[in-house]
Amino acid sequence: MIFDDHDVTDDWNLSARWEQTAYGHPFSRRIIGNALLAYLLCQGWGNDPQAFAEPLRACRDLLLQRQANDHLQAKAQDALIGQLLEFQHWHYVLPTTPALLVLDTRTRRWRSEGHLSKPSGLMDWEALCDFQQALLDHPSCIIVSAAPMFGVKLIEGIQKLFTYAGHPLLVDAENWMAHRGAASVMMNIFRHSRTPGDFVILSGDVHYSFVYRVSIRLRRNSPTIWQITSSGIKNEFPHRLLDWFDRLNRWLYAPWSPLNWLTKRRRMRVTPLIPDRSRSGERLWNGAGLGQVFFDAQGRPERILHLNADGSKPVTFVAERDEGPATVAQLSSARRTAAPEDGGESLR
Write out pLDDT tens, residues 87-137: 999 999 999 989 999 999 999 999 987 789 999 999 999 999 999 999 998
DSSP class of residue 93 equals E
Q: Phi and psi dihedrals of 144, rounded to 5?
A: -105, 115
CA dist., res. 116 & res. 22, Å (int): 14
Residues 223, 216 contacting (CB under 8 angstroms): yes
Average pLDDT value for residue range 176-201: 94
Q: Does residue 348 register a pLDDT over 60?
A: no
Q: Does residue 150 register a pLDDT over 80?
A: yes
Q: Is the dihedral of CA 13, 14, 20, 23 positive or negative?
A: negative
Average pLDDT value for residue range 270-296: 95
Average pLDDT, the chain: 90
Q: Is the dihedral of CA 244, 247, 253, 259 positive or negative?
A: negative
Per-residue pLDDT tens digits for 58-70: 999 999 988 777 8
DSSP class of residue 20 equals H
When pLDDT is cut at 50, 70 and 90, the band that residue 267 belongs to is very high
When pLDDT is cut at 50, 70 and 90, the band that residue 341 belongs to is very low
Strands 198-203 vs 140-144: parallel, antiparallel or unpaired: parallel
Q: Which residue has the higher pLDDT, 233 or 344?
A: 233
Residues 310, 234 contacting (CB under 8 angstroms): no
pTM: 0.90
Closest CA to 204 of 136, 311, 288, 119: 288
Can you give the pLDDT at residue 340?
40
